[in-house]
Amino acid sequence: MDALLVELRGFVPRGGSRWPARAAWLSAIGVTAAQAESARRRGQDAEAATLFEQVLARAPRNSTALAALSDIAFDRGEHEAAARYARQAIQADPEIAEYHTRLGDALVKLRRRGEAAASYERALELGDARAHRRIELLSKGGLG
């Protein structure tokens, strides 16, 4: 959520917006995303998923919503969907290491170990220290 708010602040000029419709649109996205994050924290994944989908309806490349939907799908055992959402998050914001780790985790569950290793390597390059352990376990036949 914090990343989303920082993203939103960049679009709305300080001291009021010269584009009130755009500011209202961004505000609606922020409110919906906050509600989705709250639902997720309460364990209400179905509600959270619906709200994150509403965010995507307004901002289809919102990497925060895409990553959250990847997590929800992964938790539900929907690993193909988790991988798809993680890939979309990466397309929207390729420099976020965690998105590459999420993709790797989904690919491991799909038994696509080579692709998973590549995702973990990229995550490690971008600074996700957790990826190192995953690469190590993967090379020893672990994970999955």
The C-alpha atoms of residue 12 and residue 31 are separated, in whole angstroms, by: 15
Which pLDDT does position 143 carry in this prediction?
63
Domain with CATH 1.25.40.10 in the chain: 61-144
Q: Which range is least confidently modeled, 29-43, 66-80, 91-105?
A: 29-43
> Counting beta carbons within 10 angstroms of the beta carbon of residue 97, is it exposed (0 to 12), middle (13 to 18) or buried (19 or more)?
middle
One-letter identity of residue 35 = Q
The residue-averaged pLDDT of 118-129 equals 96
The residue-averaged pLDDT of 63-85 equals 96
pLDDT of 9 above 50: no
What's the gap between Cα 62 and its chain centre? Answer: 8
CATH 1.25.40.10 fits 61-144, yes or no: yes
Helices (H), the chain: 2-9, 20-41, 45-58, 63-75, 79-92, 97-109, 113-125, 130-139
CA gyration radius for the chain? 17
pLDDT of 2 above 50: no
